[in-house]
Structure 1
Amino acid sequence: MAHIVSTRPLIDEGLSGVRDDHTLTVCDPPDGSTRSVDDLIALTDGADVLLSVLADPITEELFAARPELQMVAQYAVGVDNIDLDAAAAHDVAVTHTPDVLTDATADQAWALLLAAARRVPAADRYVREGRFERWETTLLMGTELSRKTLGIVGMGRIGTAVARRALGFGMEVVYHNRTRANPTVERQVNARYVGLDELLKTSDVVSLHCPHNEDSHHLLDAAAFANMKASALLVNTARGPVVDEAALVDALANGEIAGAGLDVFEEEPDVHPGLVEQERVVLAPHLGSATTGTRTRMAQMCVASITALLEGADHVPHRLV
């Protein structure tokens, strides 16, 4: 019987596969804070498997302190928080949950886009505060999306799913990627490959779906915002550091772009105060995968990987290390 430590509470239905056969310890910081490496070292005393989330710093220090650790099962697609080289050096398996959240995250991108375009949060506050006294001709004017141009940065699974939804809005889709997408995919979503500068100059909406790495860090900076339409909207459901938040605040304040919908933040969970103050920005607490079905399937994928490793299977699903 193995000892599995989960750093956050997950949907019980998804964890049923390990509760019966192993010892499962589910932790949650009482103050809602994120954990340090020292916290994780303390939590993993005697653990065989660590079930982690993106906010957990999984480092060389942790692996060195817990040589009995066999596996890190990441409850996420991204593994930015895990030192994969250190895991390999310490012979610790690492798995993640790819492909499961494509549609949920694409839906979230569109939810943020529609909310920003039609000023839904401001309208909601207006009604709740008792200010709705009569229909007005110019109240909370928004932006139509029909026949506008959607620029997608990162045409992977999620970016493609976002582009597919744009067909229903009659939008033109352009995209930028490190490599051009398969021509069949381009035809299916009626998307045109362009350089980043052209995408920024011509798009009415810029939606980010690229990974965060050295090349994409602050990909949208002051120069990028200056290149965008004054009427453009930015949507980010990718990674916070892809956007220079200080530059975004300045761009919004100076009218270089019209608004934004953000599900991720540069110093998450901290949010730049200038974004909080902006009426034209829609903010969400990293809800891209936050549907009951998706989060349950993510837990089930972690369980399948853990079970395979502990049972000595020849193949461990979704293994990176």
Structure 2
Amino acid sequence: MSTAASAKPAVFVARRIFPEVIEKLSAQLDVSHNQADERLSPDELIARVQGKQGVFTTGSERIDARLLAACPGLRICANMAVGYNNFDVPAMTAAGVLATNAPDVLTETTADGGFALLMAAARRVTEGEHYLRAGRWQRWSYDMLVGQDVHGATLGIFGMGRIGQAIARRGALGFGMKVLYHNRTRLPADEEAAVRAEYVAKDVLLRRADHVMVVLPLTPQTRHYVGAAELALMKPSATLVNIGRGGVVDDAALARALREGRIAAAGLDVFEGEPQVHPELLACSNVALTPHIASASLPTRLAMAHLAADNLIGYLLHGQAQTPINPEVMA
């Protein structure tokens, strides 16, 4: 390695990402890169991060007290994701390591993805495709694959951050839906009015909504936020969609509710223990499943990667990052 290269702050990119983003990082930082799509084991990750000042993560690599203790030179971890349940933020703050994420740039695309799952589940698109491909479509019947309307229905949203509000706008303004929401804190009145949403208690939302959309991060407080008790409150005709994080919905309880007809359908982009999916969910015909791709448009994924890169460059070279999770570290 040249003297010039070694003078640059060293960073590790934990997964294969866009070549142009690697070029951008390499112009200003000393970059090493895991060019595979597979997640490194905790021990492998520690070995690759040792001696580095920064690490580019994709939302799956766990940054915890063990890694921080083994990598005392680490200064920043930049997530190419809006969620950051892979970060032990208190431990990072105690170690003086900045955490950043990639909000805003994926809001509208993720909201599109959530609505796509809602439409697919409510209108039984996945079931219909499987039915057709299996050669079962031989004749018409009035009740063949009938689903539930989305237009004019009641949409309930758990989690009213940027993505939740974008979904509310689509529901209210695009589909004429009545929008209910429940959040840790209520929105100001002008923000509620802008998205035409009504704040209600959690149990009221579950009982009244025709379609429930979960847009919550995974925290100790939100784990199994929707479980057997919550599913029991929903209408038998209702749809549940989770685009938040795996573990916010109890997947085993959801599979039972779907199998027993206690709710009509579900759409899931995130799962407990992903990339593994609960086998009972895989056996359910009335669930639309996608592999954590709600933000997966090419422009959005590229913007997410550039933002993570900008955070690394900005902090390591200038002491500033655009989207810090624990900004007190910068202070």
* Same-fold call, TM cutoff 0.5: yes
2:197, 2:16 → 1: CA distance? 40
Deviation at 1:128, TM superposition (A): 2.9
Mapping for residues 98-247 of structure 1, pairs under 5 Å:
98-167=103-172, 168-247=174-253
- 1:288 counterpart letter in structure 2: A
Confirm or deny that 1:75 pairs with 2:85: no
1:44-72 Cα offsets, whole Å, 9 max, x none, are: 24322111122111111111112222221
* Residue in structure 1 matching 2:261, options 246, 255, 258: 255
Matched residue, 1:40: 45
1:167-194 Cα offsets, whole Å, 9 max, x none, are: 2111111111122112112222221111
CA RMSD of aligned residues (A): 1.7
Matched residue, 1:19: 26
Query: Secondary structure at 2:300's aligned position in 1?
Result: helix
Structure 2: runs of 5+ lacking an equivalent: 1-7, 327-331
Matched residue, 2:5: none
* TM-score, normalisation: structure 2: 0.91
Deviation at 1:319, TM superposition (A): 2.0
Deviation at 1:29, TM superposition (A): 4.7
8 Å Cα contact 2:212/2:240 also seen in 1: yes
1:146, 1:85 → 2: CA distance? 43
1:193, 1:83 → 2: CA distance? 31
2:144, 2:116 → 1: CA distance? 21
2:203, 2:324 → 1: CA distance? 36
1:274-303 Cα offsets, whole Å, 9 max, x none, are: 100100001111112111111111111112
Matched residue, 2:16: 9
Deviation at 1:222, TM superposition (A): 0.9
Structure 1: runs of 5+ lacking an equivalent: none
* TM-score, normalisation: structure 1: 0.93
- Report percent identity of matched pairs: 42
- 2:263 counterpart letter in structure 1: I
Note closer, same or farther for the CA distance 1:144–1:94 as it changes in structure 2 (3 Å cut). same
